[in-house]
Amino acid sequence: MHDKEIEKQILTLFNDDKTKNQGFNLLVNHYKESVYFQIRRILITHENTDDVVQEVFIKCWNKLYSFNGKSKLSTWIYRVAYNEAIQWIRKNNKEYHLDINDIRSSEQPTNNIFHKDASEINKLLEKAVFQLPEKQRMVFQLKYFNELSYKEIQQITGGSIGGLKATYHHAVTKIKKFISYD
């Protein structure tokens, strides 16, 4: 079943009082993994991510009736997840910076990337991403990891498509520089 068909099924089930729970369960089962990883890339730790994922789905339960269909349902859910993650960061700013510092200090990158295995390369990429300013990090994660279009990213984060492209380009440049660090 394609995403469009699943989205239609979720909305049809959710908007009928008799099948609302079934529709919501389908939504959670279909999106929980992608929402989890989107938030995990932002918040770093499983515990913080788990808390925010729960908030995202509570918000979806309470607000899905207001979904207007101007974007894909997945884009709407990613917007909710993005907003909840940003809200968590603002409320827990000190704790969040401590988590990032733990990751940053754990290992210095080397330019010998050809002798690393996939998990080491992933860890190096994560560290590079966490070096980015918040906006660049968010745009990079949505484009690179979630494979969203600039239009979808615009619907989630706001801003112009040209500005998002520039932000992504700057993020990629900084990541390349970090990874090739001597």
Integer Cα distance of 54 and 48 in angstroms: 10
Q: What is the distance of C-alpha 76 from the center of its chain?
A: 12
For the chain, give the percent of residues with pLDDT over 90.
40
- The reported pLDDT for the residue numbered 176 is 86
CATH 1.10.10.10 is the classification of domain 108-182? yes
All structural domains of the chain with their residue ranges: 1-106, 108-182
DSSP 168: H
The pair of three-digit structure tokens given for residue 158, joined into one six-digit string: 């706001």
Query: Given a cut of 80, is residue 160 above it in pLDDT?
Result: yes
Instruction: For residue 181, give the nearest of 145, 144, 127, 142 by alpha carbon.
Output: 127
- Asked if the domains 1-106 and 108-182 are classified in one and the same CATH topology, the answer is no
- 173: alpha, beta or left? (left if phi > 0; alpha if psi -120 to 50): alpha
Tell whether pTM > 0.75: no
Q: pLDDT-based confidence at 94, cuts 50/70/90?
A: low
Nearest to 133 by CA among 168, 179, 98, 95: 168
> What are 102-153's pLDDT values in tens digits?
444 444 334 444 444 556 667 777 788 888 888 888 899 888 888 889 998 9
Sign of CA dihedral 83, 28, 92, 47: negative
Question: How far apart, in whole angstroms, are the C-alpha atoms of residue 43 and residue 100?
Answer: 9
Residue 51 in tokens:
């808390």
| pLDDT on residue 161 | 93
* Distant-in-sequence, close-in-space partners of 58: CB < 8 Å, separation ≥ 6: none
16: amino acid identity, one letter: D
75, 155 in Cβ contact below 8 A?
Answer: yes
Banded model confidence at residue 10, pLDDT cuts 50, 70, 90 = very high
Is it the case that residue 41 has pLDDT exceeding 70?
Answer: yes
CATH of region 1-106: 1.10.1740.10
